[in-house]
Amino acid sequence: MKTPPTYAITSVDHALRLATMLQLEGSLRVAEAAERLGVAQSTAHRLLQMLVYRDFAVQDETRVYRAGPVLELAAHSLSRTALLRSVALPHMRALVDTVEESSNLTIRTGVRARFIASVECTQILRVGSREGMVFPAHRTTGGLLLLAELSLAELTAAYSDSVGEQADRPELAELHVELAHIRKQGFAVNQGRSERGLVAVGVPVRDVEGTAIAGLSLSMPSVRYDRDRLPALVATLNRAAGAIQAGLTLAHR
């Protein structure tokens, strides 16, 4: 569970979120940055200019901000992530409009899960954006779905190769049994594993070859979760995941 610092500095948070967007997606316009942060364009411009000054960003001749020298390696290696996010977002917005709960898209890197896109619902009591945040994979819905694709040997190797993860290392035999169940049923339910009082339901998103590349989930306060709605939630998620996969297929033609 991640708790915001007592004395949060909003401008620092905004700058770090912009750096994460550039790292994952490669480029941003001022208007897009302002919209996603919920700030004025002048504020977004100042933040981006500071990132340019510190070499986290560069501005090209079309006035688009791109990942700078500090982030350029990640920008090149994660171009597929940018495509996945751009294809998924319209379907995530439609999903949120239908279910009226917040939605997240998650990828896995080793034994960590990174939220690459979030769409908040409009309910007063809601799960806020997780975009750019990183959690242990076994504590997130998307992370569990992606870990479920691994064999026991691959799972063991992933945790053996991890550095600095010992403080929150799962018992692998128990995790493997849980992951086998998730893989068989085709969805995951996360009740309070990442944050107390939250429930998330998710399904895998697959690429054109059928490989699970992300987890698509709906997150809600536990007081609004009704187990009787689970089949309908999973069916709605699967339709959205299928639409994302179809979009990726078109993008690769």
172-195 pLDDT, tens digit per residue, is: 989 999 999 999 999 999 998 888
At residue 166, the pLDDT reads: 55
At residue 7, the pLDDT reads: 62
Mean of pLDDT values over 40-67 = 90
Confidence of residue 76 (pLDDT cuts 50, 70, 90): very low
At residue 222, the pLDDT reads: 94
CA distances from 8 to 4, 11, 14, 58, 196 (A): 7, 9, 11, 27, 21
At residue 160, the pLDDT reads: 85
Distance of CA 101 to the CA centre of its chain: 16
DSSP letter for each residue of 44-106: HHHHHHHHHHTTSEEE-TTS-EEE-TTTHHHHHHTHHHHHHHHHHHHHHHHHHHHH-SEEEEE
CATH number of 79-251, picked from 3.40.50.1100, 3.30.450.40, 3.30.365.10, 3.30.1490.100: 3.30.450.40
At residue 61, the pLDDT reads: 84
Residue 167 has pLDDT above 80, yes or no: no
Confidence of residue 110 (pLDDT cuts 50, 70, 90): confident
Helix 30-37 with 41-53: angle, nearest 10 deg: 110
Mean pLDDT (the chain, rounded): 88
**How far is it, in rounded angstroms, from Cα 238 to Cα 144?**
16
At residue 226, the pLDDT reads: 94
Residue ranges per structural domain of the chain? 10-77, 79-251
At residue 149, the pLDDT reads: 95
At residue 180, the pLDDT reads: 95
Residue 75 has pLDDT above 50, yes or no: no
Q: Are 189 and 199 in contact (CB under 8 A)?
A: yes
At residue 23, the pLDDT reads: 79
User: Is the CATH number 1.10.10.10 carried by domain 10-77?
Assistant: yes
Residue 243 has pLDDT above 90, yes or no: yes
At residue 55, the pLDDT reads: 81
Please tell me the total number of residues recorded for the chain in this structure.
253
Q: Are 219 and 198 in contact (CB under 8 A)?
A: yes
At residue 29, the pLDDT reads: 92
Residue 1 has pLDDT above 70, yes or no: no
